[in-house]
Amino acid sequence: MSEKLIANGRVTVGGEVVTDPARDVDEGDDVRVDGGAVVAEGREVWAIHKPPGVVSTAKEPGSRPAVVSLVQSDARLYPVGRLDADSTGLLLLTNDGELANRLTHPRYEVPKAYLVELARRPSRVELDRLAAGVELEDGMTAPAEVGRRGENRVEIVLREGRNRQVRRMAEAVDNRVVALRRVRFGPITLGDLREGEARPLTEDELTALRDLVPPSRRAGAKEATD
């Protein structure tokens, strides 16, 4: 859309018509379309409890609902990382691309906690293996925090994000994930947010997120699904 506006000579920066769609624009620049000032969209970050069957995308071409449709906001939001369709729990949505990139870049090792229901009770040896790292087809997993939370239930805290990692880790110790719910992303917890509900982060939560991944370090990778 913006490329078409620029091609048609309808965009000006500082009173000059823009001809290059890749031109950098600073926050204080006077940007106008057809003479009207363009106001920057306010930054938003939301926490949502993703239900099962909902996909972690901004738009879904198929029949399943996209997680963005569950948030009442006019901002152009997109997920920070992903949860696969069968998984539930905490997912962050934002229109702040820089923050999203930092939160999902592997060098920051942002901790993410998952409450996992397994098909059978894991032994102490199996829990120790999961914590120390297990061999997957794409290499050894990094050390994780693993604790028992019930007969067949464990909590796993990861600082890396590979595609369906928790499920593949369980299979590596001859077990199987029955249900998976993310309960924490960095300093943000799921709390009592119900499935399908969303809320904007508080100022204190936003500060904690930004302090966790300061912008002085470069980032650009994306998180895989769990």
Model confidence over 165-206: pLDDT tens digits?
999 999 999 999 999 999 999 999 999 999 999 999 999 999
**pLDDT attached to residue 217:** 45
Question: What gap in Å lies between CA 181 and CA 159, rounded to an integer?
Answer: 16
| 216 pLDDT above the threshold of 60 | no
Position 87, amino acid: S
Question: C-alpha angle 89/100/178, rounded to 5°?
Answer: 25
In the chain, what are the domains? 2-37 (3.10.290.10), 45-107+188-212 (3.30.70.580), 111-185 (3.30.70.1560)
Whether the full predicted model's pTM is greater than 0.85, yes or no, is no
Query: CA 139 to CA 4: how far, in whole Å?
Result: 45
Out of 26, 84, 86, 211, pick the active-site residue: 84
pLDDT at 18: 79
The secondary structure of 158-219, three-state, reads ECCCCCCHHHHHHHHCCCCEEEEEEEEECCEECCCCCCCCEEECCHHHHHHHHHHCCCCCCC
- The pLDDT mean for the chain works out to 88
**Dihedral sign, Cα of residue 211, residue 212, residue 218, residue 219:** negative
Percent of the chain with pLDDT over 70: 88
Q: Which residues are CB-contacts of 92 (< 8 A; sequence separation ≥ 6)?
A: 45, 46, 47, 48, 79, 80, 81, 100, 103, 185, 188, 201
pLDDT given for residue 63 in this prediction: 73
Gap between the Cα atoms of 1 and 127, Å rounded: 51
How many Å apart are CA 80 and CA 139, to the nearest integer?
Answer: 24
Can 74 be counted among the known catalytic residues?
A: no
52 exposure class (CB count in 10 Å sphere: 0-12, 13-18, 19+)? middle
